[in-house]
Amino acid sequence: MKPLYTGLAATAMLWATATVAFDPADLEAVLATKHCFDCDLTDADLAGADLAEAYLTYTNLSGATMIGVDLANAYVRFATLREADLTGANLDGAALWDATLTGVILVNASMREVVLRGATLTNANLTGAILIGAYLTNTNLRGAILGDADLTGADMTRSALQGADLAGATLAGTILAHAGLQRADLTDANLIGANLEGADVTGAIFCRTTMPDGNINNADCP
């Protein structure tokens, strides 16, 4: 019976793999027209693709390889990009309202004036990302890594940043009104001119942190 069991298990694994693979027709449409609504691009390879001004609403890009992709001014609202790799991608001006980006990799991505209002980026890696002037209102960034990210002038009103790593981040002029910063690491962060009105910083780590008034907060340095 063992050979039969092994064969059935292998068949089941192949079937499962096929069900989660991207739709080749959808990938062809995206690359040819930059337009695809509710498409399946799960685990697709889009590294270096030119998708500037693309329309990808409701598209599933979970696990996709998108290193260096150009999504400038693209419309990606309600899309799903769970654990997609967008290292070094260009998302300047892109609209990702209410998108799901849990565990996404956006290391060194260019995201100037990107719109992530209402998006979910829990446990996302945005190390070194450029988010100057970004719109991150009501965005879920719990547990996200934003070390050395540039968030100058970003609007993060009511964003959830509980447990986020903001070490070395530039938050000059950033609006953090009513944001949740409980247990966030703000070591070496620059908060000059930031708006923290109503923000909850309970348990936040302040060490060599430049506060909104320019003073240095070393309260939690070892």
pLDDT tens per residue, range 90-121: 999 999 999 999 999 999 999 999 999 999 99
Q: Which amino acid is at 125?
A: N
Pick the more confident residue, 150 or 16: 150
C-alpha torsion angle, residues 195, 200, 205, 209 (rounded to 10):
10
pLDDT tens per residue, range 151-170: 999 999 999 999 999 999 99
The model's confidence at residue 21, banded by pLDDT at 50, 70 and 90, is: confident
The model's confidence at residue 213, banded by pLDDT at 50, 70 and 90, is: very high
Please give the average per-residue pLDDT across 132-140, as a whole number.
98
Please give the average per-residue pLDDT across 138-144, as a whole number.
98
Provide the whole-model pTM.
0.89
Cβ atoms of 118 and 96 within 8 Å: the answer is: no
Structural tokens at position 192: 């000059």
Instruction: Identify the bridge partners of residue 70 per DSSP, sorted by sequence position.
Output: 50, 90
Rounded CA-CA distance 43/64 in Å is 4
Rounded CA-CA distance 210/148 in Å is 14
Rounded CA-CA distance 84/61 in Å is 7
End-to-end CA distance of the chain: 62
